[in-house]
Amino acid sequence: MKFSFLDIVIFLIYCAIVIVVGLIISRRVNKKRDTNSYFFAGNSLPWYLVGSSIIAANISAEQFVGMSGSGFAMGLTIATYEWLAAIMLIMVAYWFLPVFIHKKIYTMPQFLEVRYDHRIKTVMAVFWLFLFVFINLTSILYLGALSLKTVFGVNLEYAIAGLAIFSVFLTVGGGLKTIANTDVIQVIFLVFGGLTTTYLALNTVSDGQGAFTGFSILMEKAPEKFHMILKESDPNYKYMPGIRSILGGIWIAGIYYFGANQYIIQKALGAKSLKEAQRGMAFAGYLKLIIPVLVVIPGIAAFVLKADIVKPDEAYPWLLDRFVPSGVKGFVFAALIAAIVSSLAAIINSASTIFSIDILKVHFKPLISEENLVKAGRISSVIIVAIAASIASFLTGIEQVFQFIQEYTGLVSPGITAMFILGIFWKKTTAKSAWIAVLITLPVPLFLKWIYPEMPFLDNMVFSFIIISAVMILVSVLDKSIEARSHAWELPSGIFKNDDKVFKWLTIGIILILILLYYIFW
C-alpha cells in the first residue's frame, strides 16, 4: 500500500497529539510520585474517561483483525461477544464494583487475599502475569504486526518491535492517568476510522450506491452470514455452538473478563466515585454495541468481495490495501494503530501493577518507598513488553487468533469466575474451597477436553464452571475448621441498591437495543 503525503500528515498528526497529551499528563503525575497516582490515576477519572478507556483497552487487533477474520469465516454470530458484553458490563457495574470499592480493592489478587487468604493471592498474581504476557500481549502484538506486514510489507519482527516501543512510551510516563486521557483520542480515531473502513467496504459492494445498499447486498448474497445461531452442520459450530453460544459459556467468559480482569476493571477502580465508575461502564456498554459494525461487517464484506486471502485473519488488512483511497489511508491506519497501542498500554500497566503491588512489595521489598515502587513498575513494564515481543511471532501458524485467545483464556476463566461469584455472593465460601478451586482450575477443563475433544470450548466452560463451583460449595459446607469460621465475609445491607436514575435508564436502553438486535438477526 502506498501512502500519499496527506496520509502521512494525518498519521503524524495522530502520533503528535497522543505524544503531546501523554507528555503533559506524565509531567503532572510525576510530580506526585505515589502508587495511587501512577497505577490508579489518583481516583480522578470521570465517567467518560472510564468508559472510553475500557473500550480502548478492550478493542484491539483482536477485534479489527481477529474478529473481522471470524466475521469472514462465520459471519455475524461472532458479534455475540460484543453485544452480550454490553449487558455484562452493566452486571459488573451493578454487582461487582460496589463490593470492590467498599472493600477498597485495587487489584484482583488483593480481592482474593481479602476474601480468602494470601496463598491464593500469590498464586493467582503469578498466574495473571503469565496470562497477560504469553496470551494477551503476544496475540495483540502479533495481530497488529500482521496488519503492518500485510498493508505495508513491513517485516513482522520490526512491526512487533515498533508497536512494543510506542506502547511502552505511553505506559511508562504517567501510568493510568496518561493512558486514560490518551484513550479518549484513541477511541475517537478507533470509532471514526473503523466506520470509514466499513463505509468504504459497503460502498464497494454496492458499486458506489452507498453503505445501506451495500449492506442489503451483503444480506442478499451471503444470508448465511447474518444469523446469530449456527446450525450443527456449520464448520464453525465448534466455536459458536448454536443457542448455547448465547446462553452458555460466553457469560462465564464475559463476567471473568469484565469483572475479574485487572486491565479492564482497573479503569473503573480509578474513577472519582462509584457513580462515575458505573456510568462509565454503561457508556462502555453502548460503545460495545457498535463495535460489530466496525469489525464484523467489513469481514463479511471481504467474503462477498471474494477476497484472495490465505486465511481469515487477512480479511481486514486486505480491505485496507484494496479499497481505502489515498487521503483516507492515514486516518484509517491511525485508527488501527490506536486500537492496538491502547490495548497494549492497558495490559502493560495492569501487569506492572500486579507485579509491583502484589508480588514485589509483598514478597521481596515490603519496606519499599512509594517512589521506588513506581520506578519498579516502570522497569517491569519494559521487561514485560520485551518478553511478549520476543515470542509474538510464534503465533504465525494459528488460523483464527481471536478464537485462539477465547479458547485458551476459557481454560482458566471458569475457575476464576467461580471464585469471584461465590466469594462475593455466598459468605460461607471458605479459603480452603478457593484453594482447591485454584488447584483444579486447569485440570478440570483439560480433562473434559481430553475425554471429549469435540466439545465446543464454550460448552467446556459451562461444565467446568459447574464442576468447580460444586466442589467449592461441597468443600465449604464440610469445612468446620476454626479458620473457616473466623474468616467471615460480610457486606453491608443495601450495598447493591442503586439510586442513580441515569445509570438505570442507560441500563434499560441497552436491554431494549439487545432485544431488537436479536429479534432482527436471530
Give residue limits of the domains in the chain: 5-20+44-104+129-394
Q: What single letter denotes the amino acid at residue 67? A: M
What is the pLDDT at residue 405? 66
Mean pLDDT comparison of 18-22, 83-87, 102-106, 187-191, highest-scoring range: 83-87
Average pLDDT, the chain: 86
Give the separation between CA 517 and CA 343, rounded to whole angstroms.
27
Residues 355-382 have a mean pLDDT of 86
What is the pLDDT at residue 9? 85
* Percentage with pLDDT > 70 across the chain: 90
**Is residue 236's pLDDT more than 70?**
yes
* Partner residues linked to 45 by β-bridges: 271
**Is residue 210's pLDDT more than 60?**
yes
Residue 153 corresponds to which cell in the numbers above? 510489507
Q: What single DSSP character describes residue 272? A: S
**Is residue 44's pLDDT more than 90?**
no
List CB contacts of 411: < 8 A, sequence separation 6 or more: 442, 445, 446
What is the pLDDT at residue 192? 87
Question: In 3D, which of 343, 352, 349, 364 has the Cα closest to residue 125?
Answer: 352
Residues 50-61 have a mean pLDDT of 85
What is the pLDDT at residue 179? 74
Q: Which range among 48-62, 139-153, 252-266 shows the weakest confidence by mean pLDDT?
A: 139-153
**Is residue 280's pLDDT more than 90?**
yes
Residues 198-214 have a mean pLDDT of 92
Residues 68-81 have a mean pLDDT of 90
pLDDT tens digit sequence for 418-453: 999 999 999 899 999 999 999 999 999 999 999 998
**Is residue 402's pLDDT more than 80?**
no
Q: In this structure, how many other beta carbons lie within 10 angstroms of the beta carbon of residue 447?
A: 13
Q: Which CATH architecture has domain 5-20+44-104+129-394?
A: Up-down Bundle (1.20)
Question: In 3D, which of 85, 135, 158, 4 has the Cα closest to residue 412?
Answer: 135
Specify the pTM. Answer: 0.89
**Is residue 326's pLDDT more than 90?**
no
